[in-house]
Chains A and B, each alone.
Chain A
């Protein structure tokens, strides 16, 4: 039952790089949001995972973010929101992440992802 977080992180890194290079935006969202590292004890691993995700999110052009988010299922939006807030903590890349935040809130139609980020203990960091 134990999840291999290290393997998942590596898989995610590879999937993100592939999706980004082939400009498969739906694939990026999928790679970011599937198998979130909740419950992982290794902080360094979680940080590395977060860095990969943020690096990919920031590589998007602002005009592409909306189309990438279209039709995104709510579970994915929740995980994405957790990553966005984690990425907003240190102040790097804030302008793109703030755009992601705004468009994710619009796509979800309300404050749902935000409430679920603050009210649950599942954390990506």
Chain B
């Protein structure tokens, strides 16, 4: 899979290896509730089922937290936002994605506190889909998200400039 962004490469390589290590699931029925099957990383009831969480930071603002368990993993992403406009765009765009979490299958509806978006992958997902493809999807997402947001920012600035010029044209003497 061609990585376009060279500066991100080692960061994404680290995340990829870590994800591959965490993504070893087996079906595990809930120990606390009869006939229930919950992602244990979400239930967080029994320490023997949970793996140690890991935070991989590229900078102080840009990081990824991966928490794992016997049947699921949760990956939360904090994205680089260099100014106020980036913050608003990232917030809007990622909320848009999160609200359509059912379509995305491995997205979590709400990001974890302190992060912008969260993925939740369970054993049922790895039973239906290829593990290496799931990892590739997440890495591709991380690769593309920065360029998506800068593209949105450029188009927004362009539109704003056109609107402002048109508006102020009427005040030209």
Contact = CB atoms under 8 A, between A and B. Distances in A.
Interface of A: 85, 88-92, 94-95, 98-99, 101-102, 105, 111, 114-115, 117-121, 123
Interface in B10-40: 10-11, 13-14, 17-18, 20-22, 24
Contacts of B58: 91, 94, 98
Contact of A88 (B13, B21, B22, B55): B55
Contact of A89 (B10, B20, B57): B57
Given A91-B62, A94-B11, A101 B17 contact: yes
Which among B14, B60, B68 has the greatest number of chain A C-beta atoms within 10 A?
A: B14
A92 B57 CA distance: 8
Contact of A105 (B11, B17, B22): B17
Interface residues of B, number: 23
A115 B11 contact: no
Given A94-B57, A98-B11, A98-B13, A114 B18 contact: yes
A114 B52 contact: no
A111 B59 CA distance: 24
7 A-B pairs with least C-beta separation: A91-B57, A98-B10, A114-B21, A91-B60, A111-B21, A118-B51, A89-B55
Nearest to A95: B10
Q: Is the interface of B mostly helix, strand, loop or mixed?
A: mixed
Nearest to B53: A118
Nearest to A93: B57
Interface string B43-62: 00000000110111111111
B47 to A, nearest CB: 9
B143 interface: no
